[in-house]
């Protein structure tokens, strides 16, 4: 892996490896060892396809995704490894096929872990092949034959939503992880909003965990590990945005989804939509909509995870709003209502922008 980002003008073995993958998946005419304009275009197309921020620059995240893209189902034998889990598009394809047939391999994340092995063994048992948890040629052929006969809803999404409903509407039995940004530009804003939200949630009986303290700057991997070590119901990642043009403004929310792989988090998408609607209904932030992304924090966190970009600090209007404590309280109230609406049944839900925190107390949706 490259020690630093790769961009226009770079050259060498890593560039050659990257362009070989881009050529193999049909985004580049031929491999080259020079990062030229054609490579920039191919990288942008790949990033767009995978739900990444489109920059034309190969960061660590894009490089790992390109490494995953090298593998198609059947290219290699897949099995549970003791030291480092196998990962790649072939694992994602396997998880997708197993999920479509009703075998629970958990979140489709592209890692061959214990849950994927268990689901594969159940599949092998059901079709009468050798039950060893190894996806070799015989298992791949069985998968290809049978998946064509299966139709219906997406079991992973249905299962995720059923778990949400099963946890009930009360917030008192929920565990929520708040993930404030550590970037120098917005660390104070994000942490302040997270602390305000933490206090409100604790008052309603929620078990709340912050991924960082006022001074700690954990990596994405450490944040994911913390969330996955808890019985987390929801992860909320709080950020702002910046852009070279100060006219860029507004709020956007992101949930796990990949059009390329045909997967997305049903609960994550619902919560992102609720957040977007509540905040834009209660403030004058421009609605920049919800978006599916396959960033590691969204993809690898087992619980539904949503990232919220609360405006652009590069925009004078947004920056002024975010500096105002009263506005931050409006954001917190909006998030509180969005969280509660996520767990309410459709018939108990209310119109966007109408619920208040006092309504939750009167409804008994808190610890007593």
Domain 162-362 class in CATH: alpha beta
Q: Is the pLDDT of residue 221 over 80?
A: yes
Residue from 257, 263, 256, 255 nearest 93 by CA:
263
Tell the CATH topology of 13-69: Muramoyl-pentapeptide Carboxypeptidase; domain 1 (1.10.101)
More confident: 159 or 97: 97
Phi and psi torsions of 94, nearest 5°: -60, -45
**pTM greater than 0.85:** no
Q: What superfamily does domain 89-152 belong to in CATH?
A: PGBD-like superfamily/PGBD (1.10.101.10)
pLDDT in tens, 90-139: 999 999 889 888 898 988 999 999 999 999 999 999 988 899 999 999 99
pLDDT value of position 215: 86
Q: CB under 8 Å, gap of 24 or more: what pairs does 257-262 form?
A: 257/51, 257/292, 257/293, 257/294, 258/50, 258/51, 258/292, 258/294, 258/299, 259/49, 259/51, 259/292, 260/49, 260/50, 260/51, 261/89, 261/92, 261/93, 261/96, 261/108, 261/294, 262/96
Please answer whether residues 327 and 321 qualify as being in contact, where contact means their C-beta atoms are separated by less than 8 angstroms.
yes
> Lowest-confidence range among 49-53, 314-318, 362-366?
362-366
Which one of 79-83, 314-318, 344-348 scores highest in mean pLDDT?
314-318
> What average pLDDT is seen over the chain?
88
pLDDT digits (tens, 9 = 90+) for 315-333: 999 999 999 999 999 999 9
Give domain limits for the chain: 13-69, 89-152, 162-362
| pLDDT for the residue numbered 367 | 42
**Region of residue 173 (left: phi > 0; alpha: psi -120 to 50; beta: else):** alpha
Fold match between domain 13-69 and domain 89-152? yes
For residue 346, give the 3-state DSSP assignment. coil
- 305 sits in which H/E element: strand 305-312
């Amino acid at each position: 892996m490259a020690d630093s980002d790769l961009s226009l003008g770079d050259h060498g073995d890593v560039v050659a490896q990257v362009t070989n993958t881009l050529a193999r998946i049909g985004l580049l005419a031929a491999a080259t060892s020079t990062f030229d304009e054609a490579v920039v275009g191919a990288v942008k197309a790949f990033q767009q396809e995978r739900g990444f921020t489109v920059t034309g620059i190969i960061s660590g995240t894009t490089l790992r995704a390109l490494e995953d893209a090298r593998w198609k189902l059947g290219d290699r034998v897949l099995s549970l490894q003791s030291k480092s889990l196998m990962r790649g598009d072939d694992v994602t394809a396997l998880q997708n096929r197993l999920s479509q047939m009703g075998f629970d391999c958990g979140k489709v994340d592209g890692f061959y872990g214990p849950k994927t092995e268990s689901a594969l063994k159940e599949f092998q048992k059901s079709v009468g092949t050798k039950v060893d948890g190894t996806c070799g040629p015989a298992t791949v052929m069985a998968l290809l034959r049978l998946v064509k006969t299966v139709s219906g809803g997406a079991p992973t999404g249905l299962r995720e939503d059923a778990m949400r409903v099963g946890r009930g509407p009360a917030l008192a039995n929920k565990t929520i992880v708040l993930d404030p940004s550590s970037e120098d530009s917005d660390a104070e804003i994000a942490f302040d909003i997270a602390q305000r939200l933490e206090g409100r949630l604790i008052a309603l009986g929620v078990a709340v965990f912050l991924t960082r303290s006022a001074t700690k700057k954990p990596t994405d991997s450490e944040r994911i590990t913390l969330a996955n070590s808890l019985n987390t119901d929801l992860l909320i990642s709080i950020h702002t945005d910046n852009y070279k043009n100060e006219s860029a403004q507004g709020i956007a929310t992101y949930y796990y989804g990949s059009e390329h792989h045909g997967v997305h988090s049903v609960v994550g998408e619902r919560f992102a939509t609720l957040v977007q609607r509540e905040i834009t209904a209660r403030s004058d932030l421009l609605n920049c909509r919800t978006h599916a992304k396959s960033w590691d924090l969204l993809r690898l966190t087992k619980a539904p995870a949503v990232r919220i970009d609360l405006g652009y600090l590069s925009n004078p209007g947004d920056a002024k709003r975010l500096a105002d404590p009263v506005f931050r309280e409006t954001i917190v109230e909006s998030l509180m209502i969005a969280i509660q609406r996520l767990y309410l049944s459709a018939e108990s839900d209310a119109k966007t922008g109408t619920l208040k925190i006092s309504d939750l107390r009167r409804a008994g949706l808190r610890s007593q």
